[in-house]
Amino acid sequence: MSPLDRDGVRVTVHDAVATVTLTRADRRNAQTPAMWRALAEAGRVLPGDVRVVVLRGEGPSFSAGLDRQAFTADGIEGELSFTALARLDDAALDAALSGFQAGFTWLRRPDVLTVAAVQGHAIGAGFQLALACDLRVCADDAAFAMRETSLGLVPDLTGTKPLVSLVGYARALEICATGRTVHAAEAERIGLAGLVVPAEDLAAATDDLVAALLAAPRDALVETKALLRDAAGRDFDAQCAAERAAQARRFRDLAGLGE
């Protein structure tokens, strides 16, 4: 089943697993606003029984970042150039940027677990797309870099919060401010990657992780994801209370007493 295949994004669904594939391999999956709109649409067309979403890129690179055509005077054909965006009023510019982010924010939905299978380049927007997922499995040739600051911009595709959460403020600042490359081995060591495998084993390792995620009951995973994702924003007592409330819901559900 393929509910979406356009603008460099293809969605396929098999049972409880959806695979979202970036299909601009000839451009190393460089991203465009049209791709971001298609990614947002991917989240909207997911069937309700999907439990796990795998995000991957065709070809040698996961995503080499924003299409370089965006940095030319005319920008990307059919899209507003940087200059045209800058001339929008505050509300319109904020709405445009929010629309770009929509392609990334749905990957944090509470009802699905999302896995990025990363090989080759994951630069800028590509890095942030991997960060938007709950989990990252990486090939040993994966190379992350946040190049926005060196271009006079900031990372604005929802990547700053998960980056700080994963590696801490100081390291996140150093990675963004220098734009340096974080190779797979370091990514695993500092917590960006949960698992690094030889490139030829990436698909199999991702399948193994997906199978493990599907082994537990869906509602228990949804509750656990919510507890862990919100833990940083709560103090200890509030987190304990959240655990109790979640467990009470699970007890009642398992006893057939849920609403």
> What is the distance between the alpha carbons of residues 204 and 224, in angstroms, rounded to a whole number?
25
Q: Tell me: the pLDDT tens digits for 124-139?
A: 999 999 999 999 999 9
The mean pLDDT of 140-157, rounded to a whole number, is 96
What is the predicted pLDDT for the residue at 203?
Answer: 98
Residue 182 three-state SS: strand
Weakest mean pLDDT among 75-79, 114-118, 158-162: 75-79
109 contact partners, CB below 8 Å, separation of at least 6? 43
Which of the four pLDDT bands, split at 50, 70 and 90, describes residue 3? Answer: confident
Query: How many alpha carbons lie under 13 Å from residue 156 in its C-beta half-sphere?
Result: 15
The mean pLDDT of 52-65, rounded to a whole number, is 98
In order, the DSSP letters of 74-142 are S-STTS--HHHHHTS-HHHHHHHHHHHHHHHHGGG-TTSEEEEEE-SEEETHHHHHHHHSSEEEEETT-
Which of the four pLDDT bands, split at 50, 70 and 90, describes residue 207? Answer: very high
The mean pLDDT of 240-253, rounded to a whole number, is 96
DSSP letter for 59, please.
S
- Per-residue pLDDT at 231 exceeds 90: yes
- pTM comes to 0.95
What is the predicted pLDDT for the residue at 27?
Answer: 95
Give me the residue label for tokens 């098999």. 14
> What is the distance between the alpha carbons of residues 236 and 101, in angstroms, rounded to a whole number?
31
DSSP letter for 157, please.
S
Question: Do 207 and 230 touch, CB atoms closer than 8 A?
Answer: no
What is the predicted pLDDT for the residue at 91?
Answer: 98
The mean pLDDT of 148-177, rounded to a whole number, is 96
> What is the distance between the alpha carbons of residues 198 and 187, in angstroms, rounded to a whole number?
14
Which of the four pLDDT bands, split at 50, 70 and 90, describes residue 257? Answer: confident
Question: Do 92 and 147 touch, CB atoms closer than 8 A?
Answer: no
DSSP letter for 3, please.
S
Query: Which token pair is 130?
Result: 């991997």
Query: Which token pair is 14?
Result: 């098999």
What is the predicted pLDDT for the residue at 87?
Answer: 94
Average pLDDT, whole number, for the chain? 96
Residue type, 215: A
What domains lie within the chain, and their CATH numbers?
4-215 (3.90.226.10), 218-254 (no CATH)
